[in-house]
Amino acid sequence: MRVANRVIAAVLALALFVGGLLVAVEIVVAGFDRRPWVLPHDRWYTSARLRSWESAPPRWIFIGLIAAGFMLLLLQLARRRPSALALAPGAIPADVGRRSLEKALVREATRVDGISAARAKVGDDKAEVVASSNRRQTDDLGPRVTQALDRRLSAVGLARPPTVRVKVQGRSDR
Amino acid sequence: MRRIPDRLNSTVLTLLALILLGVGVYGLARGYGAFGDARAADPVLGDDVRDFVSRNANWFWPLAAVVSLLLSWIGLRWLLAQIATPAVNRLPVRADGPGHTELSASGATAALAADIEEYDGVRGARARLVSDHPPEVEVTVDVHDDVDVATVRRRIEEHALARFRQALELKDLRARVHVRLAERAGRTVR
């Protein structure tokens, strides 16, 4: 999400930079009674004078603005997972990278006897781990993996350790 | 680590989204007669706006040009904020006599990182000065999975950063530590 914002921001910033310069130049050019240089503002002016608010082209433009605004707003309101989780308060602020924590939880889960693979997603409040096992009976694995991950998280010393949720998929589940 | 541009982007884009929505909804509502049929039939660029600009052309267009240049400059700054990495290259060193001494920031931070890499359980470290007023250093440490993170953190605070502070006489040095958990060599997780 941050990357998407960064890309959109870069494109908009570039548009603002170039657009601002072009408008200033066009104003100067128009001041000397010359024809438009790049922006066809004379045609835009005529169109805006002739077309009413109820005509189709302005309506489509406004629908486009609403769609763009809506998508942009959704992107901003989407809940993002943190890039880092704060460690317990100390003399110096410190945090741990979320991706590295997710990988550490995967490693910890696969260390549990009977677990062949795992994937983890860590958020502000919860850490969801899906572990795979080659066994058919996996009833005992869930609590063991949860215990191992809880131990791992407490060793990291997070300010607010997320709640661990483990799902074990046995051979019969796949 | 790059929180300021991210926060700025989020704020500006939220504001822009609200403006787009506001203008779009107003235009569409007016076109569908929400403010009366007469206003829906008005041209998009009405006589009142055109007359206002014509009456005030002597100051309106120069002001519009200045505002455009200002927006262009803001756009450039915003663009550079996406690319630039906040970092300080030189650090002034306090001297008693006349003259001015500066220290290469990368040399000092490399020494700090080397100090941290000596610790048990640390696989690698990087440090960079992100500000000189007040001085602020950002340390990224890769630690092995099985290490006690609190112990490494305490050592960084009490040993490496204390030495760094003392060596550069930066009593008001601020610091931030980013920890990354890394696997011990020989194991791979996909």
Residues of B (126-165) whose Cβ lies below 8 Å from A: 142, 145, 148-150, 153-154, 156-157, 161
pLDDT, residue B90, reads 75
Range of the domain at B71: 3-83
Domains by residue range for chain A, with CATH:
2-77 (no CATH), 84-173 (3.30.70.1350)
Residues B46 and B108 in one domain: no
- Is the CB of B34 inside 8 Å of chain A's CB atoms? no
- How large is the average pLDDT for residues A51-79? 93
B188 domain-assigned: no
Summarize pLDDT for B147-189 with one digit per residue, the tens. Answer: 888 899 999 999 999 998 888 888 788 899 999 998 876 554 4
CA atoms within 13 A on the CB side of B51: 3
Summarize pLDDT for A114-162 with one digit per residue, the tens. Answer: 899 999 999 988 999 999 988 888 888 889 999 999 999 988 889 999 9
CB neighbours of B21 closer than 8 A, spacing ≥ 6? A65, A66, A69, A70, A73
Residue B88 has pLDDT above 60, yes or no: yes
Residue B100 has pLDDT above 50, yes or no: yes
Cβ <8 Å between A5 and B75: no
More confident residue, B97 or B119: B119
Residue B96 has pLDDT above 80, yes or no: no
Name every chain A residue with its beta carbon within 8 A of the beta carbon of B165.
Answer: none
Structure ipTM over 0.95, yes or no:
no
pLDDT, residue B94, reads 64
Q: Are A139 and A103 in contact (CB under 8 A)?
A: no
pLDDT, residue B3, reads 57
Amino acid letter, residue B109:
T
User: Residue B95 — very low, low, confident or very high, per pLDDT cuts 50/70/90?
Assistant: low
Name every chain A residue with its beta carbon within 8 A of the beta carbon of B176.
Answer: 92-94
Q: Of B83, B110, B141, which residue sits at a domain end? A: B83
Name every chain B residue with its beta carbon within 8 A of the beta carbon of A52.
Answer: 31, 40-44
Nearest CA in chain B to A107: B189
CB neighbours of B60 closer than 8 A, spacing ≥ 6? B53
pLDDT, residue A21, reads 96
pLDDT, residue B166, reads 87
Q: How many CB atoms lie within 10 A of CB A47?
A: 16
Give how far B96 is from chain A: nearest CA, Å: 30
Summarize pLDDT for B4-56 with one digit per residue, the tens. Answer: 678 889 999 999 999 999 999 999 999 999 999 999 999 999 999 999 999 99
**Strand positions, DSSP E, B22-145:** 90-93, 101-104, 122-132, 135-144
Amino acid letter, residue A70:
F
Residues B176 and B102 in one domain: yes
Residues B76 and B97 in one domain: no
Residue A69 has pLDDT above 50, yes or no: yes
B23 domain-assigned: yes
Burial class, B116, CB count within 10 angstroms (exposed 0-12 / middle 13-18 / buried 19+): buried
